[in-house]
Amino acid sequence: MKRILSLSAVVLITASMLPAQTAGVQAPQPASPQAEPSPPQATESKVKAAKTRPEYAAYQAVVGEKDLAKAETGANEFAARFPDSDLRSILYEQLMQRYGQANNAEKALEMSRKVLALDPDSVPALLTVSSVMAERANETDPDLQQQHEEIMKASSRAIQLIDTGALQLSQYTPEQLNSYKSSAYAAQGTLELAEKNDKAAEESLRKATELNTLNPEPAIWLRLVIALDHQKKYADALAVANRALAISASDPDALKQVTYEQTRLKLLTDTKPAH
Query: Is the predicted pLDDT of residue 207 greater than 90, yes or no?
Result: yes
N-term to C-term CA, the chain: 35
Question: For 139-143, what is the mean pLDDT?
Answer: 84
Average pLDDT over the chain reads: 85
Cβ contact 154:130 at 8 Å? yes
**2 located within any domain:** no
DSSP notation for 49-99: E-SSHHHHHHHHHHHT--SHHHHHHHHHHHHHH-TT-TTHHHHHHHHHHHH
Question: For 180-187, what is the mean pLDDT?
Answer: 96
- 90 against 26, higher pLDDT: 90
**263 located within any domain:** no
**Nearest 5°: CA angle at 251, between 229 and 188?**
50
**255 located within any domain:** no
3-state secondary structure of 195: coil
**230 located within any domain:** no
The count of domains in the chain is 1
What confidence tens digit (pLDDT) does each residue in 1-24 have?
444 344 545 555 555 555 544 445
pLDDT band at 222 (very low <50, low <70, confident <90, very high): very high
Specify the pLDDT at position 22.
45
Count of other CB atoms within 10 angstroms of residue 204:
25
Question: Which residue from 75, 6, 31 is spatially nearest to 220, judged by alpha carbons?
Answer: 6
Cβ contact 241:254 at 8 Å? no
* Residues spanned by the domain of 81: 7-27+46-215
Specify the pLDDT at position 233.
96
Is beta strand 48-49 parallel, antiparallel or unpaired with respect to 25-26? parallel
- CB contact set of 42 (below 8 Å; sequence gap of 6+): 48, 49, 86
| H-assigned helices in the chain | 7-14, 53-63, 68-81, 88-101, 105-118, 123-136, 144-163, 174-194, 198-211, 218-230, 234-246, 252-270
Write the CA distances from 111 to 106, 220, 234, integer angstroms.
Answer: 9, 25, 41
Q: What is the CATH number of the domain that holds 170?
A: 1.25.40.10
| Calpha distance 150→58 (Å, rounded) | 33
Question: For 210-217, what is the mean pLDDT?
Answer: 93
**150 located within any domain:** yes
Specify the pLDDT at position 21.
42
Specify the pLDDT at position 143.
87
**173 located within any domain:** yes
**199 located within any domain:** yes
**253 located within any domain:** no
Cβ contact 75:62 at 8 Å? yes
